[in-house]
Chain A
Amino acid sequence: MDLVESLRKAWVVTGLTLRYLMGTRRGIAIAVLAAVPLLLTVGLALARVDSFGIQLFQILLIPLFFQLVLIFVALVNASTLIRDEIEDNTLPYLLTRPISKPALIFYKYVAYLASALVLLVPPIVLAYGVTELHTGSPFSADLDVLWGFLLTTILGSAAYGAVFLFVSVLVRRPLFVGLFLGFLWESIVGQIPGDVRKLSVIHYLKSILKDTISVTPLSIYSTDVSAAISVVVLVGFSIAMVVLSILVFQQMEFKSKA
């Protein structure tokens, strides 16, 4: 009975959150941004760019997708999970129901992850398909590239979403801190050689891509972290951030906005 009730609550919270993240005008704007990789590849194919193939696909999309689109989608969607409920004064409706704060955070994070993957995965798969179609290759010709991109999209969404969720329960203006972390920190630290770059998510994403794709521009990327270790680090980091968010949220007090 408790399990059934918990599943019902999980379904309601994730459904409510997904509807907010994807059913509003802001959700449509985010979907357009998430479609940029697809639009770019379609543009290249229509323009009949000679050099357009799986190599150019990677050269363009590794910075564009992983360092811009993915971070932006994660930032906007994850930082609103709790903060918008607080700012909009809707949180009391949820917190005066028999649902624990840890469960609420967890279900909302699951909803975020679902929304991020729904927004990010189809454009990447379609962009890959357009690239292979343009070069006349079968869809399965470079599946290592597709799997590498999908794995890093899932892990990147989980890690960035978790850190932005944590920021959103810590500060009142999570977008500013998120922009700093997502675009400044990740770009700068990710470029510094040596162990410092291990403090960025993008380093582990690139390490996975380098390890899983046979022919990639990242072959010259300097890393001593294997794909397996990177997966463990990113999963562990995501879990740690969600747990920290729960701990902070459980001690938070909520005053109404005027």
Chain B
Amino acid sequence: MTGIVDAVGVSKWYGEVLGLNAFTASFGRGITGLVGPNGAGKSTLFKLLIGQLHADQGGVRLLGENPWNNVALMRRLGYCPEHNQMYGWLTGQQFVETLLRLDGMSSADARKAATEALKVVGLSAAAQRLTRTYSRGMRQRTKLAQALAHKPEVLILDEPLSGADPMARVKILRTISEFAEAGGHVLMSTHVLYEIERITNNIVLIHNGKAIASGDIHAIRALIDTHPHAVRLDTPRPRQLAQALARMDHVVSFEFPSAEELLVRTRKPDAFYRELPGIVADTKLEVRGIESPDDSLDAVFRYLVG
């Protein structure tokens, strides 16, 4: 196999827990989505690809090389971790700049590249603020900025949309698309199929540490559409937002898990994600974050694997 990523019979155990189970897949050029519920093995695969874990069986290759303790390969890689922690005592500008200087850039070059990357992700105005004051969406965009600022060949993005607000999602997806259009390769994990669908048709489905399907996204769409999809919105006015969203005929139900949360179930998640930014903008209701509990996807996976 000669893909951007080649994984052959990769198994990884955490004690008695199996993270990856003879995972075999080849990821091609452009954008590939790694889709699976939480605990499926997405982050384990990514950690193998960035050299933070090594396989107990089998092997992975990134850009044709073994990533374990491969310092030179890191120059060709941009990585956006799943978690949102950063050096909170640095500003966004300092954070990106510092990491760029670890690529060997001079201070002046790093400053220029960091400024440019933060502009690309729409964070110029907040660049001088401490990152500990950032919202989750801003953190996601900062992580993306540090990952692409040194112009890597491949971006590995672990749940880059998790918790991001609607505007941040649009910005992040646009940035990823532009990176790929410029010739870069992207591996992006998500447990929300409809997010990845907006930027690529090429996906690998992962469940219980195994690649259970890969290829065109449309083949499994019909299956997934039969399962109502849950979306959790973080908003200070959940009831007013529910009223506004009730005009969507594909919305099945609303729940209010807490005073500042709204859980929506929809039969047409793609339409929901497409229409939501417009409704939020029209009604001027604040939506601080969006998350999709993976129970709907999990149901589909259980169906797929029998």
* Chain A positions near chain B (C-beta within 8 angstroms): 5, 8-9, 11-13, 16, 19-20, 23-24, 88-90, 92-101, 250, 253-257
Does any Cβ of A come within 8 Å of B169's Cβ? no
Interface, chain B (partner A; CB < 8 A) = 14, 43, 47, 50-54, 69, 71-72, 74-75, 77-79, 81-83, 85-87, 89, 98-99, 101-106, 146
Query: Complex formed: what's the CA distance from A92 to B104 in Å?
Result: 17
- Asked if residues A89 and B81 are in contact (CB atoms below 8 Å), the reply is yes
Separation in Å of the A253 CB from the closest CB of chain B? Answer: 5
Is A253 a contact partner of B99 (Cβ separation < 8 A)? no
A13 cross-chain contacts in B, Cβ below 8 A: 102
A4 to B53, CA, bound (A): 30
- Is the beta-carbon distance between A95 and B89 smaller than 8 angstroms? no
Partner of A97, one of B43, B85, B89, B103: B103
Since A96-B78, A99-B71, A256-B43 are in contact, a sample of 8 more A-B pairs with Cβ atoms closer than 8 Å, ordered by chain A residue number, is A8-B101, A88-B85, A92-B52, A92-B79, A95-B52, A96-B77, A97-B74, A99-B102
Which residues on the A side are within 8 Å of B86 (C-beta)?
A: 90, 93
Q: Which 8 A-B pairs have the closest CB atoms?
A: A97-B102, A5-B104, A96-B79, A89-B85, A254-B52, A98-B75, A89-B83, A98-B74
In the bound complex, residues from chain A placing their C-beta under 8 Å from that of B71 are 98-100
Contact of B101 among A9, A88, A92, A257 (CB under 8 A): A9
CB <8 Å contact, A257 and B83: yes
Check if B50 sits within 8 Å of A96, measured CB to CB.
Answer: yes
A256 / chain B contacts, CB cutoff of 8 Å: 43, 47, 81-83
Q: Specify which of B43, B54, B87, B106 is in contact with A16 (CB 8 Å cutoff).
A: B87
Chain A residues with CB below 8 A from B99, complex form: 93-94, 97
Assess the B79–A8 pair: CB atoms within 8 A. no
A23 to B83, CA, bound (A): 24
Return chain B residues, CB-CB under 8 Å to A100: 69, 71
With A8-B106, A256-B83 known to touch, is A93 a contact of B146 (CB < 8 Å)?
Answer: yes
| B47 contacts across to A, CB distance below 8 A | 253-256
Bound-state Cα–Cα, A254 to B14, Å: 11
Residues of A within 8 A of B77 (CB): 96
Greatest chain A CB density within 10 A among B43, B54, B69, B102 is at B102
Answer whether A254 and B53 are a contact pair too, CB < 8 Å, given A9-B102, A96-B77, A98-B74.
yes
B102 contact set on A, CB distance < 8 A? 9, 12-13, 94, 97-99
- CB contacts (< 8 Å) of A98 on chain B: these are 71-72, 74-75, 102-104
User: Min CB distance, A92 to chain B, in Å?
Assistant: 5
Q: Which residue of A lies closest to B12 (CB)?
A: A253
Using CB atoms, name the residue of chain A closest to B143: A93
A residues near B50, Cβ cutoff 8 Å: 92, 95-96
Interface centre among B47, B51, B104 (most CB of A within 10 A): B104
11 contacts between A and B (CB under 8 A): A8-B101, A9-B104, A13-B102, A89-B83, A96-B50, A96-B74, A96-B79, A98-B74, A250-B69, A255-B52, A256-B43
B43, B52, B79, B106 interface centre (most CB from chain A within 10 Å): B52
CA distance A88 to B83 in the complex (A): 10
Q: How far is the CB of A80 from chain B (nearest CB, A)?
A: 14
Q: Report which residue of A5, A89, A97, A101 has the largest number of chain B beta carbons within 10 angstroms of its beta carbon.
A: A97
For the complex, give the distance between the alpha carbons of A19 and B98 in Å.
Answer: 12
Q: Which residues of A contact B51 (CB under 8 A)?
A: 95
